[in-house]
Amino acid sequence: MRKAEKKRENRIATLPTSNFAFCIFLSNLTQTNGTEEELSKFCTAKKLTTTLPRDSPFNSHALSPYINPSLPPSFHSQYFPFNSLSTHFFSDSPSRVSESVVVVASLVSVSWISNCFFTMATGQLFSRTTQALFYNYKQLPIQRMLDFDFLCGRETPSVAGIINPGSEGFQKLFFGQEEIAIPVHAAIEAACAAHPTADVFINFASFRSAAASSMAALKQPTIRVVAIIAEGVPESDTKQLIAYARANNKVVLGPATVGGIQAGAFKIGDTAGTIDNIIQCKLYRPGSVGFVSKSGGMSNELYNTIARVTDGIFEGIAIGGDVFPGSTLSDHVLRFNNIPQVKMIVVLGELGGRDEYSLVEALKQGKVTKPVVAWVSGTCARLFKSEVQFGHAGAKSGGELESAQAKNQALRDAGAVVPTSYEAFEAAIKETFDKLAEEGKITPMKEITPPPIPEDLNSAIKSGKVRAPTHIISTISDDRGEEPCYAGVPMSSIIEKGYGVGDVISLLWFKRSLPRYCTQFIEICIMLCADHGPCVSGAHNTIVTARAGKDLVSSLVSGLLTIGPRFGGAIDDAARYFKDAHDRGLTPYEFVESMKKKGIRVPGIGHRIKNRDNKDKRVELLQKFARTHFPSLKYIEYAVQVETYTLTKANNLVLNVDGAIGSLFLDLLAGSGMFTKQEIDEIVEIGYLNGLFVLARSIGLIGHTFDQKRLKQPLYRHPWEDVLYTK
């Protein structure tokens, strides 16, 4: 027993009692066989006991609805007799009773804590000047908030800033017809510092990170209200959020909430849905009804219902459907009771949990003086033989007290207007409103005509209202369907048919599937031109850049920039000049001599190393493949004849790889029968053939980059002895 008592003492000792008004010490009794008497002795010894009057919130009537139903009744009566439990109140200052609480137990639910010890911020949560910080950027909810602002005639946008972890800058959105830039911050602290007047935090984080980001927001002195949209937030995390918010007089909406709205002033995220629905529900101007519900979806339905039979809502709140909402139905009903513009209150509860009983107590104690029309949904649960889990995590009856029927009856007995069915809910709301109007307690709001919201271009195009020109045309690929398509061929077909790189090039460059010998030739060209050693200009540039510590793309581009008329870029020119000479019927002599007169070197002829007796092996391989597979060789034959003539002038004026590829590609295009003369001329003119060299040589340049980095080569410096210094 001493060990258990020591354990209890240590737990109490770890609590900073100067920061807490009182502590209900219960969990140790669930872990040991300690008794109420032992607890009383311990508390008396520690001078932590104060006797409360019998009508305090601790009496058995207030406590019983909130006892955790998972614990057996025998446990309650054995360890916590209600009469004696009400006398144990721990406080470092009895005058600070309402400040905060810590419950170290699973016995009592959070809703009991909140209803017994705390009063939420009274009065309105929002106004026409309220601004929010939006966590985890979502374009549509933010735009809907801004459209609502414009509809209500707000002068300033309700979204002051966006928090996107790891990102900074601006997001462009529309405020009416004006495009605005909303700042984006990387951290909650930075956003709060930059926008000190923004006191609402709208959290669109996933359930995994919602608790941590919400707690960070609650700890900011400028944040007053936190709305947690995600559902499925761990219950232990939610309890901590609730305790912190209550202790610091802040409000939590959710988890699993759509948010809330003050008509004509401010709304959270997707609350109330589309602009059309908002207009139909008259939410662009304030009404006289305060509405609170657990369900966000049903809130939209009730906004519409209330608008049909009353002058609309003043404020609507969805507290969230999880088991432990950050605020309760009674919290908001009591707030509504303090708002002069709210003349009547509508409440929509649901089966499961005991939240509605806090409202029952408030009604019985006379804390709510305005008419309350209420309905608890889920009466159909009794039709099922076994327990049914409805949509929300909290919508699951844990016993008769949690059934919709029991709650409806309790609310009815407490003085709320409760219809006999949901179908009669609308009539009950109308009857209550009409009665208040007849008594002169409500002056129905005058209707106003809200300004039209400019329609987004995309939606206007879809609806056929406008037509707009496109900015880009693409004919080679399409990624809009289930899978990307190259020239109309689905990606799956490309893989299933065993297409190679040459086939993909034929689809993306030539917009057709070329015969296999054509795509093989393309692949051979790529392989033969992939690299030509480290000494050529492109490779040299890449090596120097890589050794300077630059990244892959920079190193690659530095090599590619050397490709041109003098290095690798002669394929197009060779094809162009050979084709023109052949098609005009010029002899090799006439062609070469005419080029000489113009002062133009013959593209595709000549090599710095190769000669008549040491021809380029790549040229031989290309010709061998073509003579085996090509149906026509007229252009390569012409190029060989030109080579025969140029060799009479100099031993190194051989047909080089540029000339071979250029002339053979002309034969491929002409011999395949798949291109018109006009298309062939266009292909040569645009520069398709140089594209082959660029694509091929990129492979080698990337290789040289990796090679230098793998070898950890230092910065390159050209040797002095290799430079001619002259005046």
Q: Are 670 and 680 in contact (CB under 8 A)?
A: yes
pLDDT higher for 230 or 19?
230
pLDDT, residue 385, reads 56
Percent of the chain predicted with pLDDT > 90: 70
pLDDT, residue 380, reads 72
Q: Which residues are CB-neighbours of 722 under 8 A, at least 6 positions away? A: none
Instruction: Tell me the CA distances in angstroms from 380 to 207, 352, 390, one per residue in order.
Output: 30, 13, 11
Mean pLDDT confidence for 271-293: 96
By residue count, the chain amounts to 727
Q: What is the DSSP track for 338-373?
A: T-TT--EEEEEEESSSSHHHHHHHHHHTT---S-EE
pLDDT, residue 28, reads 34
Could you give phi then psi for residue 431, rounded to 5 degrees?
Answer: -60, -45
Mean pLDDT confidence for 526-548: 95
Asked which of 168-172, 372-376, 572-576 is least confident by mean pLDDT, the reply is: 572-576
**Reported pTM:** 0.62
Instruction: Tell me the CA distances in angstroms from 719 to 157, 704, 713, 716, 723, one per residue in order.
Output: 64, 21, 16, 9, 7
Mean pLDDT confidence for 380-402: 59
Q: Which residues are CB-neighbours of 373 under 8 A, at least 6 positions away? A: 344, 345, 346, 347, 416, 417, 418, 419, 425, 428, 429, 432
| Highest mean pLDDT of the ranges 72-86, 95-109, 145-159 | 145-159
Q: Tell me the C-alpha distance between 259 and 255, whole Å.
A: 9
pLDDT, residue 14, reads 36
pLDDT, residue 35, reads 43
pLDDT higher for 670 or 86?
670
Q: How confident is the model at residue 381 (pLDDT cuts 50, 70, 90)?
A: low
pLDDT higher for 334 or 387?
334
Q: Tell me the C-alpha distance between 666 and 656, whole Å.
A: 16
Strand ranges of the sheet holding 313-318, from the earlier edge strand across to the other edge? 266-267, 260-262, 313-318, 289-293, 344-350, 372-377
* pLDDT over threshold 90, residue 37: no
pLDDT, residue 120, reads 53
Percent of the chain predicted with pLDDT > 70: 81
Mean pLDDT confidence for 66-78: 37
Mean pLDDT confidence for 216-230: 97
The tokens 């016993």 sit on which residue? 399
> Quick one: DSSP state of residue 96?
G
What's the mean per-residue pLDDT of the chain? 84
pLDDT, residue 113, reads 37
Q: Tell me the C-alpha distance between 490 and 482, whole Å.
A: 9
* pLDDT over threshold 70, residue 355: yes
Q: pLDDT digit string (tens) for 299-347?
A: 999 999 999 999 999 999 999 988 889 999 999 999 999 999 999 999 9
Look up 392 and say whether it is catalytic.
Answer: yes
Q: pLDDT digit string (tens) for 184-208?
A: 999 999 999 999 999 999 999 999 9
pLDDT higher for 613 or 54?
613
Catalytic residue among 195, 392, 582, 607: 392
Mean pLDDT confidence for 403-409: 93
Q: pLDDT digit string (tens) for 440-481?
A: 999 888 889 999 999 888 888 888 888 888 889 999 999 998
